[in-house]
Structure 1
Amino acid sequence: MNASPAGALAGTVALVTGASSGIGAATARRLASEGATVALIARRRDRLRCLAEGITRQDGRARVVEADITDPEQAYQAVQETREAFGRLDILVNNAGVMLLGTALHTTTQEWDRMVSLNVSALLHVTHAAVPHLIDAAATSPRQVADIVNVSSTAGRVARPSSSVYNLTKFGLNGFTEALRQELLIERVRVSVVEPGTLQTELVHHLGDATRTLQQVSGIEPLQAAGIADAIGYIVTRERRVAVNEMLVRAGDQTW
């Protein structure tokens, strides 16, 4: 895909959840390279500090916001802290998530609850807190637009064995994104979803005893987080008249 103009996001503020590793960290670096000031949200402060320092060394601006966004109050405060520190919020990237695979017979309800809490509830908490600020940014900024990008998955399009509740969270996210997109059209807040396929991230360390799933991906050369960050960067740097509503990014060897 074509590179965006240098400094296309100069003067903007972006908030990235799940920023301590993987897609979140790569996206933060990408947006900072485009000139955005980036608020880094996750629970692992040490990793966020390392990321922020790396962004600063590249002449970018970043702020560490340690928060457990499954807690509604912490999610709200994280958004408010970002807004108060920088005076605006132009871009929200909802990336935080977890994938815990296993059959209904062998998976605990605690694991199901954990996925729903982070993949769905936390995203709703942050989005609800951010929407008024995004609307204000779209109305007052030279770009005349603001962005929400939700990171979903091919699991939001295709159901597979051992991933029933993960599918639930991602199918639901896709539906939420489309409805929210229609709601915010008049406000000039673009709402997009990115659906990565097989990816090399920390998510693979949470697969548990999902033997079938591991076999399915064993012969696939996985996507890298930087490739998904590139897709997100492309979406949010389009001119106001262009809205990329959905981007499906599969690994080259992936069939589903």
Structure 2
Amino acid sequence: MTDTDKTQDRGKVIAITGASSGIGRATALALADRGATVVLGARRSESLEQLAAEIRQNGGRAVGVPTDVRRREDLVRLVDTAVSEFGRLDVLVNNAGIGPVSLLEELRVEEWDDMIDVNLRGVLYGVAAALPVFRRQEAGHLVTVSSTAAYRTVPGQAVYSATKTAVRAVCEGLRQEVGDLRVTVVSPGFVHTDFVNSVADPEARAALLASRDAMALDPAAIADAITYAIAQPDKVDVNEIVVRPTAQR
């Protein structure tokens, strides 16, 4: 990233969901390093505070807000904290997501519900919280982390892929509706996080872990894509970025 790109980030107030680990954590660190103020949302409050403290110790500005994206009021509190503490919200990064993938015939209905609630409903709650603020400011940027599963599904990922496909549709519809606001979808392929630990079937989990360890990207690669989109001039709207390992089909 060039010095000009860093200047574009400096001073922006950016809220991030799912910020305590993986892509969210890497994105928070990258943006704070570029001079942005970060408002961090995640369920794990202890990890959240540790990250905020780390950023502040390195000279950045950060605050943690315990956030469960399944609760609309938590997203409202995250956005309201940005505005009350720092005067505005420039970007919301809808990053929180889960992927307890399984074959449909296993009938893990509660896991399906969880994916719908976190991956799709959580994004909609983020839109509902941030959009009124962006409208008042007459400026704002919604960045949503989707997945390459939105473009191609495989056995075991039907529900997960459905949530990510829906997210792309929501964001494309939002882009067409809002006009002067910016909307970006970043779709990662396999990333080296603890994402696959939620897979219940031991054999499926072991296979995914082996694939992850063999080819997955560092979360910093996705953070770079997110910071690239945010760093563009206000009149430049980067709508979709797909980032996957070269070995991933």
Category of TM-score, reference length = shorter chain: over 0.9
- Look up the SS of the partner of 1:15 in the other structure: strand
- Candidates 187, 191, 202, aligned match of 1:195: 187
Give the unaligned 5+ runs of structure 1. 140-144
The 1-side partners of 2:112 and 2:3 are apart by: 39
- Between the aligned residues of both structures, percent identity stands at 38
AA paired with 1:207? V
After TM superposition, give the deviation of residue 122 of structure 1 in Å: 1.5
| Contact 1:27–1:229 under 8 Å retained in 2 | yes
For each residue in 1:11-70, what CA deviation from the matched residue of structure 2 results, as whole angstroms up to 9, or x when unmatched? Answer: 221000000100001111111112111100011111011111111122110011012221
* Cα distance in 1 between the residues matched to 2:202 and 2:244: 21
Cα 1:28/1:241, change in 2 over 3 Å: same
- Show the counterpart of 1:109: 109
The TM-score, its normalising length taken from structure 2, stands at: 0.93
Instruction: Compare the two structures and name the one with the higher helix fraction.
Output: 2
Q: Which amino acid aligns with 2:176?
A: Q
**Paired residue for 1:229?**
223
Aligned partner of 1:25 in structure 2 is: 25
The answer to whether residue 143 in structure 2 is matched with residue 149 in structure 1 is: yes
Two-structure CA RMSD over aligned residues (Å): 1.8
Choose from 143, 154, 157 the match for 1:163.
Answer: 157
Alignment of 1:56-95 (within 5 A): 56-95=56-95
Give 1:5 shift.
3.1
Q: CA deviation at 1:214?
A: 5.5
**What residue is the counterpart of 1:142 in the other structure?**
none
Alpha carbons of structure 1 residues 136 and 154: separation in structure 2 relative to 1, 3 Å: same
How big is each residue's C-alpha offset from its partner over 1:179-213, in whole Å with a ceiling of 9 and x where there is no partner?
1111112xx21101001001111111112227468
Cα pair 1:4 1:234 within 8 Å, conserved: no
Provide TM-score, normalisation by structure 1: 0.90
Code of the aligned partner of 1:97: G
Counterpart residue identity of residue 55, structure 1: I
* Equivalent residues of 2:19, 2:42 under 8 A apart: yes
Cα shift at 1:243: 1.6
Q: Secondary structure at the match of 1:5?
A: helix
In structure 1, what residue type is equivalent to 2:237?
A
The answer to whether the 8 Å contact 1:162/1:210 transfers is no
Provide structure 2 residue ranges, at least 5 long, that are not aligned to the other structure.
none
Q: CA deviation at 1:4?
A: 4.9
Which portions of structure 1, spanning 4 or more consecutive aligned residues, are displaced by more than 6 angstroms? none
Give the Cα separation in 1 of the matches to 2:36 and 2:209: 35
Give the corresponding residue for 1:208.
200
